[in-house]
Amino acid sequence: MNEAQPAVPVTPAPHALAAADYKSDIKPVWCPGCGDFGVVNALTKALAKMALEPRNVAVVSGIGCSSRIPAYLSSYGFHGVHGRALAAGTGLKIARPDLTVIVTGGDGDGYSIGGNHFLHACRRNVDMTYIVMDNRVYGMTKGQPSPTTEPDWDSKLSPEGTGLREFQPMVVALASGANFIARAFTGDPNALADVIVQAVRHPGFSFVEVLSPCVTFRPEQKEWKKIVRSDALRPTADVSRAARRMLRDTGFELGVLYAGERPAYAPRGPRATRPVADLEARFEL
Amino acid sequence: MQQFDTPGADQPPRRNGASIVLVGSGGAGVMTAGNMLLEAAAHAGYYALMTRSSGPQIRGGEAAAMLRIATHPIDCMEDRFDVLAAVDWENVQRFNAEIPLGAASLIVGDPDQGDPPEVFLRSGAARVSLPLKKIAKSVPEGRANMVLLGTVAALLGLPDEAVAHAVERTLGKRPAALAPSLAAVAAGCAAADAIELRYLLATPPAASGPRWLLTGNEAAGYGALKGGVRFVAAYPITPATELLEWLSPALAEVGGTLVQAEDELASINMVIGGSYGGVPALTATSGPGLSLMIEALGLAVAAEIPVVVVDVMRVGPSTGIPTKSEQGDLNIALHGLHGDAPHLVLAPNSVADCLRTTQWAVQLAEALQAPAIVLSDQFLGQARAVVDRPADLEVAASRELAAAAAPGYRRYALTESGVSPMAIPGTAGVAYTADGLEHGERGSPSSQAADHFAQLDKRRRKLEAWDYGDGWADLEGDPAAPLAIVTFGSCTGPVREALARAAADGLTARLVSLRLLAPLPAARLAAALDGASRVLVIEQNHSAQLYKYLRGECDLPGKVVSLHRAGALQFHPDEIHRHLLEWSRA
């Protein structure tokens, strides 16, 4: 365990579930070598480490390669419509605060079609974890540029590239109020599992950007394992420091960039559990 | 079409109802006065209905409080107003189309505020001048709106005690304003002595039970809670916002939560997420918001997640006229979802029925694990009415849950009823993934045609096999009459009243006010229309959406015609009555 990823206290599993117990018997549709396999491995390790019972975990996703994850787990899952996973997860967590809610998806789902929900999920700071598998491409629709794709990446839909600068998820998350922001690499499932454990345990909205190569449409991303710098970051609760760090960011420094102290979302105002019929008095003459 | 009690020799005639509109510029307080008049009528034992209209300004525009007070229950406004009473006339001509007057009407205005707009005078209505502001100034801290309230109450013969009660109820928390207001009301009442015309209300029959004062939006909110809703996510939109503003503190009192979402895409997905978690959930919106929710409603169909959307319809398309009513969202509610996506569509047909229909919609959505769209509208939602306490819904239905560790659990099992027990997160041994992808019985994604056929059949079967009981429609009138009217929603009020007038002329008809629009109970509808030789379909939209839907779904007997008109202005009973008379002679 390095300094950037401090050891996480591990609660002994009541039923001693292993990581494999969190996997379903459904075979993933992903290409051989896809980075997303590493995320399933890391996520199941993290769940085992936290000794969370599968019945109390809900993994929520939208549409895209990485959004297929819920079906590959033995926990509860929700595979909804494109771009709205954070909204569905938010509703689930607020309606059922007793559950551990983990939202998963890709860069297109989260930063493009779901971009508005990303802003407001950060802002709302509901106690849940959002894992984005960023491969800088739309894989399921066979290779179109996503918001994080480099401007000169050539594709059929955008010959010679989009010419657009990349979306900056970390800075956006910080500015929007996410309470925990980390970057990890799918090639190191143990380190990723540790980050996920920290993210789940951190109060409020935790955002984990995972570099997850697309071996089919972005084969050059196989080189990421040589570029990532796993010891690069220490957590800070200082927003200015985190912001400076993100603005200098190469996109390949791994670790926790920010761990804030905002209290998680909670409904405000007085609350009660009176019988519904008591409300009739409001209408009576 | 006012009916009169037989007057005594020296008594002015007593009426079974009267319609009043109070107008004035922003800050003149006509809404306050209108609400007090409504409460006074309620306190005096009358039924009443109030709608409001205001200029396009965000704050401070001209305003009109439109009231109908009657000795009997009412679900719509009258053809004409008896009294148009103005604090001032600034921009009030804008409301011209909403304020029909007749030769028997009376215009009350302050001569210091100028003449009433010509457009109102052309009606032939009588006109009286009262120096409202001067009278108000004669009372310390007196205000013209309270003077006008006193005058109008005197014209109607409302008891002083009832008016005082209404003023006290409104101003109870501002004792400093109470005494001047009561004095101004008394001065206005005294000033009415100078007016010869009277619109005296007959003494109302004793109330047979408790009465409520509420809007359709509030009724829908309460119905949602009675149905079991404990999670709401929504985005503000006229004219649904008041429903949400009522629900927000109400939910907090009964252990529920409301979240203001970032948009309607979030709203619908949040409530689907909450309902997936086992908590009955609802969102409310209007046409533009419903458009944004349609994709996710398809998910709720496919993943079989109960959810209720209340669409308080307004004039469309696009931004349209946000503050006016129309039944133009029927098509999108019925047909907007892509793929074959059976779901529920219901419509309340009165302010009070917003309670029952929304409660029933929650129950049906829960029991059938399907989305339900409730088509309310701006008129029903925002009208404030005195109604008999609505009867409790006599049916109950709820979600069928999977037991923990149910052996061989299959979330989407092909049961005979089509309903398969739903596992709720937290339940051990039955975890599954809810999926918008087509799936087999276990819930695993499948692109097999056989699974698709089987699941399509299952999702249709559960809606078609359900026994909806008698709540599918209100059946009224003479069930053997050759003439039948089919309608829905807020058209029902004026249709009912038109039929009552036609009956007085000896023309009887049967009325079918559809509450369950989808799945259409075609067999029950056919039975209700059996033997009819003429069917008239009445609705408030420009393209006869209900008429076309009915003609596509079932064989209507005899000659079938459509009476449809776009919104902004509600149907009046007279418009439908005239149509009925002409049509019956044709």
Domain segments of chain A: what residues? 26-283
* Element holding A129 (H helix, E strand): strand A128-134
Chain B residues within 8 A of A271 when measuring between CB atoms: 252-253, 255
φ, ψ (nearest 5 deg) of residue B3: -100, 145
Tell me the residue ranges of DSSP E strands in B291-432.
307-313, 344-346, 371-377, 384-388
Cα torsion angle, A232, A233, A234, A239, sign: positive
Distance (Å) from the C-alpha of residue B46 to the closest C-alpha of chain A?
Answer: 12
Residues pairing with B54 in the sheet: B63
Helices (H) and strands (E) in chain A, counts: 8, 7
CA-based end-to-end distance of chain A = 68
* Element holding B512 (H helix, E strand): strand B510-514
Q: Which of B433, B442, B444 to mutate to test the interface with A (most CBs of A within 10 A)?
A: B433
**Does B269 sit within 8 Å of A283, measured CB to CB?**
no
Burial of A80 (0-12, 13-18, 19+ CB in 10 A): buried
CATH architecture of A26-283: 3-Layer(aba) Sandwich (3.40)
* Element holding B36 (H helix, E strand): helix B30-43
Residues pairing with B398 in the sheet: none
Q: How many Cβ pairs closer than 8 A exist between chain A and B? A: 185
**Does A279 sit within 8 Å of B253, measured CB to CB?**
yes
* Mean pLDDT estimate for chain A: 94
3-class DSSP string for B296-326: HHHHHHHCCCCEEEEEEECECCCCCECCCCC
pLDDT of amino acid A5: 38
H-helix segments, B157-286:
160-171, 175-191, 216-227, 241-253, 264-276
pLDDT of amino acid B2: 47
- Are B492 and B474 spatial neighbours (Cβ–Cβ below 8 Å)? yes
What's the token pair of residue B499?
């039929």
CA-based end-to-end distance of chain B = 24
Stretch 410-429 of chain B: residues touching chain A, C-beta under 8 Å: 423, 425-429
Nearest CB to A79 within list B213, B231, B435 = B435
Strands B231-234 and B281-285, how do they pair?
Answer: parallel
Distance (Å) from the C-alpha of residue B572 to the closest C-alpha of chain A?
Answer: 27
Does residue A33 register a pLDDT over 60?
yes
Residues pairing with A184 in the sheet: A210
**Does A267 sit within 8 Å of B425, measured CB to CB?**
no
Angle at A108 between CA B306 and CA A250, to 5 degrees: 140
Residue A216: which pLDDT band, with cuts at 50, 70 and 90?
A: very high
Does residue A89 register a pLDDT over 60?
yes
Nearest to B351 by CA among B542, B77, B62: B77
Residue A231: which pLDDT band, with cuts at 50, 70 and 90?
A: confident
Q: Which residues of chain B have pLDDT under 70?
A: 1-12
Nearest CB to A71 within list B250, B270, B433 = B433
What's the token pair of residue B19?
């319609």
Residue of A nearest to B247 (CA): A279
Nearest to B78 by CA among B86, B88, B64, B67: B67
Segment A237-272, tens digit of pLDDT:
999 999 999 999 899 999 999 999 999 999 998 899
ipTM of the complex: 0.95
CA A2 remoteness from chain centre: 22
**Distances from the Cα of B336 to the Cαs of A144, B249, B312, B406, B456, in angstroms?**
29, 32, 16, 37, 17
What's the token pair of residue B394?
């006599």
Chain B residues within 8 A of A87 when measuring between CB atoms: 261, 265-267, 269-270, 273
Chain B residues within 8 A of A285 when measuring between CB atoms: 42-43, 210-213, 386
Residue of A nearest to B267 (CA): A87
- Reading phi first (left if > 0) and then psi (alpha if -120 to 50, else beta), residue A16 is in left
pLDDT of amino acid B57: 81
Classify residue A110 by its DSSP letter.
I
Residue B38: count of CB within 10 angstroms of its CB: 23
Tell me whether the omega of the peptide bond preceding residue B239 falls within 30 degrees of 0, making it cis: yes
Segment A132-180, tens digit of pLDDT:
999 999 999 999 999 999 999 999 999 999 999 999 999 999 999 999 9
Residue A268: count of CB within 10 angstroms of its CB: 7
Longest dimension (CA), chain B: 85
Residue of A nearest to B270 (CA): A91
**Does B428 sit within 8 Å of A99, measured CB to CB?**
no
CA A35 remoteness from chain centre: 14
B431 has a chain A CB within 8 A of its CB: yes
**Does A53 sit within 8 Å of B428, measured CB to CB?**
yes
Chain A residues within 8 A of B42 when measuring between CB atoms: 285
Does residue A30 register a pLDDT over 50?
yes
What's the token pair of residue A71?
């079906």
* Element holding B66 (H helix, E strand): strand B63-70
pLDDT of amino acid B10: 59
Distance (Å) from the C-alpha of residue B237 to the closest C-alpha of chain A?
Answer: 18
Distance (Å) from the C-alpha of residue A22 to the closest C-alpha of chain B?
Answer: 11
For residues B437 and B446, give the distance between their C-alpha atoms in angstroms, rounded to a whole number. Answer: 7
Nearest CB to B277 within list A95, A119, A280 = A95
Strands A76-79 and A57-61, how do they pair?
Answer: parallel
Residue A282: count of CB within 10 angstroms of its CB: 13
Nearest to A6 by CA among A201, A252, A235, A188: A235
Per the document, the length of chain B is 586
- Are A75 and A19 spatial neighbours (Cβ–Cβ below 8 Å)? no
For residues A146 and A129, give the distance between their C-alpha atoms in angstroms, rounded to a whole number. Answer: 22
By three-state DSSP, how is residue A214 classified? coil
Tell me whether the omega of the peptide bond preceding residue A147 falls within 30 degrees of 0, making it cis: no
**Does B270 sit within 8 Å of A87, measured CB to CB?**
yes
CA trace torsion B8, B11, B13, B17 (10° rounding):
-110
Which residue carries 């996920």 as its tokens? Answer: A196
Strands B126-129 and B483-488, how do they pair?
Answer: unpaired
